Amino acid sequence: MEIIAYGVLVDEEPLLREEFRKAFGDHHELRCLGLFLDKDTVPTALGHEVVVTGANDTLDAVVLRALAEGGTRMIAQRSTGYNNIDLKAAEDLGLSVSRVSFYSPYSVAEFAWTLALAIDRRIVRAALRTRDFDFRLDGLMGRDLHDRTAGVVGTGKIGAAFARIAHGFGMRLLGSDVAENPECLALGMEYVPRERLFAESDLISLHVPLLPDTHHVVDATTLALMKDDAILVNTGRGGLVDTDALLETLRTGKLGGVGLDVYEEEAGVFFLDKSLEVMTDERLARLMTFNNVLVTSHQAYFTKDAVDQIVRTTVANIEDHFAGRHGENTLVRPRAA
């Protein structure tokens, strides 16, 4: 049987193929595609019982119906997030859906700090200058983070890893979540209402999933509460930030800097080479014009350690499908179950 995988990155493919080889030998073949799954590309999945997807594939009701009619029975999402999948439609169609519920939290937490420090210390601007042999320090002054306040929105595994690093910098910790994490409390974190976190923090990092109640958790109201020189970092999901409100805030000169590894409309843009095309997304283009904004292409998770875990879990989920098993990674059970 051939299993098809969408949006497979160059550095990811050998890891995925090796794990498939170890698990299935010659019993199942793997077809890796660089293109993303959507209503235009879904015909390529015809006849594939198992379809492997990623966070930037579109699995709405239309695509899911086409998959089901084409013979697909399982969707193996190789990411933690699944806001791109219409789970109700999948259930109605009798499709099984799994995800990767856990991988290295350090990959994302460390990258969030990479963005924060690069913004605070003007690393990108400094590197561009020195490549031109311009060694002036004008405009490169940063701030000590020691004794300042870090606000962590979402204190699960990734948020807790981010908080441990902040604690190592000697920062005061404020947290916001539906439940308090004992590990974060042990670091001295104070859980406060979200409004207070945004008002008092010098650095805010987002680590919550994208759900209806977290959509645009950063909007005009919360941005107005932030300090004029605060730094905002989002390595979670693009929909956590209202891009229009952020652009308007940046236009006024507020905020010390913003680090975005995710973007509301990243599907069809991130992971692709758009360098020879006209950028038609005006909001993304405008973000790039601010010299205190750093945008990366959803790479926070992209360490060998994390991808190894993602690949292993994805293949294990497929093994469970063939064996008729389901567990903590199962989002939707097949109708027969």
Catalytic residues: 237, 266, 298
**Cα dihedral sign for 82, 84, 89, 94?**
negative
- Chain centroid, CA 283 distance in Å: 19
CB-count exposure of residue 31 (10 Å: 0-12, 13-18, 19+): middle
Q: What does the alpha-carbon distance between residue 222 and residue 254 come to, in Å, rounded to a whole number? A: 13
Contact between residue 69 and residue 45 where contact means Cβ atoms under 8 Å apart? no
- Residues 6 or more apart in contact with residue 73 via CB below 8 angstroms: 49, 50, 94, 95, 96, 321, 334
**Cα dihedral sign for 74, 78, 84, 87?**
positive
Q: How far is CA 207 from CA 45, 102, 171, 218, 229, in A?
A: 33, 14, 18, 12, 21
Q: What does the alpha-carbon distance between residue 18 and residue 32 come to, in Å, rounded to a whole number? A: 12
Q: What does the alpha-carbon distance between residue 162 and residue 159 come to, in Å, rounded to a whole number? A: 5
